[in-house]
Amino acid sequence: MLPALKYAFSLLRCLVKKTLQTPKVINQLYFISFRKDSLCYPLYTKTSQTPKVINQLCFISFRKDSLYYPLYTKTSQTPKVINQLYFISFRKDSLCYPLHTKTSQTPKVINQLYFISFRKDSLCYPLHTKTSQTAKVVLSLDAGAVSLLKDGVNFKKNPKDGKCYIIYKGTGGFKACRNQCKHQGGLFIKDIEDLGGRTVKCTKHNWKLNLSTMKYVNPPDSFLQDELEVEILDDGGLCLVELSPPDPWLADPREPLELKEGEVKVTYLTHACMELQLGQRRFMFDPWLKGPAFARGWWLLHEPPADALDRLCAADLIYISHMHSDHLSYPTLKVLSERRPDAPIYVGDTSRPVFWYLEQSKVKLTNINVVPFGVWQNVDEHLRFMIMMDGVHPEMDTCIIVEYKGHMILNTVDCTRPNGGRLPQNVDLMMSDFAGGASGFPMTFYGGKYSDSWKANFIKNERKKLLNYKAQLVKSLQPKIYCPFAGYFVEAHPSDRWYSWV
C-alpha cells in the first residue's frame, strides 16, 4: 500500500502543478485553473459530478475528458450533498461544513496540494483570499528610549535587522518614516541649513524632506514620503508599524464607466447607517436602527425611516465596521436574525473580532463573512469592495472602499487614522464621522484643576482638533463629494429630557 500511495502523491503533484492560482470569482462562484492553458474552470457548481474517492483522496472532474483532478486531501469521508451543495467534515467531530463559498480559511498549500482548515468560532472565512494587507512592527522603543527622543529629527536603527528609521517629534506628536529617499533610495542625513529642525537631506542628490508634513521641499511638489504609523503603548513605549501593501486599492484598477441617472443612490438612515443603491444591489453600512448603545448611554438622535428594518432585511450586503454598539447593534441584528438570518454580513479580519460576543448575544446569524484587509472582494462584474484597517486601532477599527463601475466611495467610519493615513484621492464620495468617541475623560474627573470651566474648554479644544483633522483630510484627498455622518446621537433617552441634570 505504501508504494502505491507514494505513486499516487507523485501523480497528484504533477496534476496540480499549475493549481496555485488564486481562484477567480465570477457571479459569486469560485473558479480556478487546473491546466497549463490557465483557463478557469469551476471549483464547484450545482451541476458538478459527485467527487470520486480514491485512496482516501477526493477528486472531481472539471473537464469534458472526465479525468479527475484533486479537489482536496486529508479526509476519508465521502462528501455529503445538501441542497445540491457539497459539504464534508475536516474535523474530528465528523460534522459537515461547507467545502466552498465563504466558510473556510485561506487554503494552505502543502506540496502543491490544497488543505482547508476551519476555526472554532464557526464564522465564515474566504476560500479565495489573495495576499492580504498586513501590519508589521518594524521598530520598537521602550519608555526610556522614548523619553530620550529630542524635539525635531531623530535617527533610529533597528538592532535586529540594521534598518534605519527617522522619528520626528513635534508639538502634535510623532511622525516616522524609513530612512530612504523615494527618488533613488539614498539615505537621509540632518539638514544643517534648516534651523527649524524639520528637514533632512538625501546624500545622493540633496533632495530635502520636511518631516513635519512628509513632503519633499526640494524639488517641490514631487513626492510624498511613505509614512509609518506611530503607535504609543500603554507603558510609554512606542512602535513603528508599516502597512504592506500601503495602497492596496491600486491592485487591478478599473476605468470609470458612464452612469445612468439614478443608477447610484446614497441614503442616510441614521447615525452611521447609510444605504447605497448601486445598480440592482443595495449595500448597508453599520445598521444601528433600534434600541440604545453603550449600556443605554447613547440613543439615536434621528429616528430611522419607518421602513429601515425592511431595507436592512432586504439588503444584498451588510458591512459592520467594528464592535462598538453604535455600529454593531444587537437589538437591530436580532430583528435581522428573526427575519433573514442568512443575510450576508461582511467584517474585517481584526484581531479583536467584530462578533466577539455573538454567542452570548443569542442572535442567530448564519452568513457572517470575515474578509482579509486590503483585498478586493468581487460581488459581481461591476461591484466590489475592500476593507482596510485603522492605523491607530488595527485590532478593532476598519474602514471600507466600495467601487461600482470604476467609481469609488470611501467610508472611513470611526477610524482615527484609516489605513495609516494613506487613502485614495479624488474619490467620487467620501464619508466620515465628525463627532468624538465615547470617553469618561474628563467628565468623570472631579477636583483640582478639573473644574466645569476647564472641562468645557477641554471638550471645545478636542472637538476643534477633530474637525480640523477632518478638514485637512478632505483637503488633501480632494473627494468630489464629502458627507460627514456618524455623530447623531444623544446621551440620554429623548423621553428623559425633562429631567433637570445637576
- Kindly calculate the radius of gyration of the chain based on its CA atoms and give it in whole angstroms: 26
> How long a stretch of residues is the chain?
502
- What does the pLDDT average to over 449-465? 87
- What does the pLDDT average to over 205-234? 87
The answer on 299 and 403 residing in a single domain is: yes
The answer on 62 and 12 residing in a single domain is: yes
The answer on 254 and 366 residing in a single domain is: yes
Domain containing residue 408: CATH number = 3.60.15.10
Q: Is residue 126 part of a domain?
A: no
Q: Is residue 127 part of a domain?
A: no
**CA distances to 131, 182, 223, 412 from 248, in Å:** 10, 19, 19, 15
48, pLDDT greater than 70: no
The answer on 314 and 452 residing in a single domain is: yes
Q: How many CB atoms lie within 10 A of CB 256?
A: 12
Domain housing 11: 2-115
pLDDT digits (tens, 9 = 90+) for 122-131: 444 333 334 5
32, pLDDT greater than 80: no
Identify the top-confidence range among 25-39, 255-269, 461-475: 255-269
> Do the beta carbons of residue 391 and residue 229 sit within 8 Å?
yes
Strand spans (E) along 80-205: 80-82, 85-88, 97-98, 108-110, 113-115, 134-141, 152-157, 164-170, 173-178, 188-190, 199-202
325, pLDDT greater than 70: yes
Among the candidates 176, 211, 244, a domain finishes at 244
The reported pLDDT for the residue numbered 383 is 97
Q: Is residue 442 part of a domain?
A: yes
% of the chain surpassing 90 pLDDT: 46
The string of DSSP letters for 339-368 reads H-TT--EEEE--SS-TTTTHHHHT---S-E
> Do the beta carbons of residue 425 and residue 478 sit within 8 Å?
yes
Q: How does strand 188-190 pair with strand 173-178?
A: unpaired
Identify the top-confidence range among 60-69, 222-231, 325-334, 417-426: 325-334
The reported pLDDT for the residue numbered 131 is 59
* 176, three cell numbers: 516616522
Q: Is residue 267 part of a domain?
A: yes
Q: Is residue 62 part of a domain?
A: yes
400-417 burial string, b = 16+ CB within 10 Å, else e?
bbbbbbebbbbbbbbbeb
The answer on 462 and 318 residing in a single domain is: yes
206, pLDDT greater than 80: yes
Number of structural domains found in the chain: 3
The answer on 314 and 462 residing in a single domain is: yes
105, pLDDT greater than 60: no
What's the angle, vertex CA 293, arms to CA 287 and CA 298, rounded to 5?
115
Among the candidates 83, 115, 147, a domain finishes at 115
Grade residue 222 by pLDDT with cuts at 50, 70 and 90.
Answer: confident
The reported pLDDT for the residue numbered 496 is 60
The reported pLDDT for the residue numbered 497 is 56
The answer on 221 and 167 residing in a single domain is: yes
Average pLDDT of the chain is 76
The reported pLDDT for the residue numbered 24 is 45
Higher-confidence residue of 385 and 462: namely: 385
- pTM (predicted TM-score): 0.64
152, pLDDT greater than 60: yes
User: Which of 21-30, 249-258, 357-366 has the lowest average pLDDT?
Assistant: 21-30
Return all residues near 499 (Cβ < 8 A) that are at least 6 apart.
492
Among the candidates 193, 220, 244, a domain finishes at 244
> Do the beta carbons of residue 73 and residue 115 sit within 8 Å?
yes
302, pLDDT greater than 60: yes
Q: Is residue 125 part of a domain?
A: no
- What does the pLDDT average to over 238-251? 89
The answer on 331 and 480 residing in a single domain is: yes
| Positive or negative: CA dihedral 430, 431, 436, 437 | negative
- What does the pLDDT average to over 76-84? 41
The reported pLDDT for the residue numbered 296 is 86
25, pLDDT greater than 50: no
pLDDT digits (tens, 9 = 90+) for 411-425: 999 998 899 888 999
Grade residue 76 by pLDDT with cuts at 50, 70 and 90.
Answer: very low
The reported pLDDT for the residue numbered 132 is 75
